[in-house]
Amino acid sequence: MTRRCELTGTLPLSGQLRSHAENKSKRKFRPNLHNVTLMSDTLGRKVRLRISARALKSVEHRGGLDAFLLKAGNDELSAACLKLKRELQKAQAEKAA
């Protein structure tokens, strides 16, 4: 399983550790991933996702999972999140009609 955030698409970055003597050694900057269960208000069910701590803050800031998914671009979402986004759009279209 890739260390990738399902909502923001954050991947590990590579860099260097630098000592006081300016020696270089390779290292990885991995995203802070957590398994969380988020509630979808429109669909009325829980969704389990593996997201970064920063993405969780963004979800809370935007007002929940539904608002985050509807505003997010399709290129950064995982396949499961894209399916969930389509279900949300379909449910909102039925509610509006």
Question: pLDDT tens digits, residue range 53-68?
Answer: 999 999 999 999 999 9
Domain boundaries, the chain: 13-96
What mean pLDDT comes out for the span 47-52? Answer: 95
Q: How far is CA 93 from each of CA 46, 87, 96, rounded to the nearest angstrom? A: 21, 10, 5
- In whole angstroms, give the CA distance from residue 30 to residue 28: 6
pLDDT at 1 over 70: no
Q: What is the CATH number of domain 13-96?
A: 2.30.170.40
Do the Cβ atoms of 6 and 58 come closer than 8 Å? no
Q: Supply the DSSP symbol for 11.
A: -
> Which pLDDT belongs to residue 2?
78
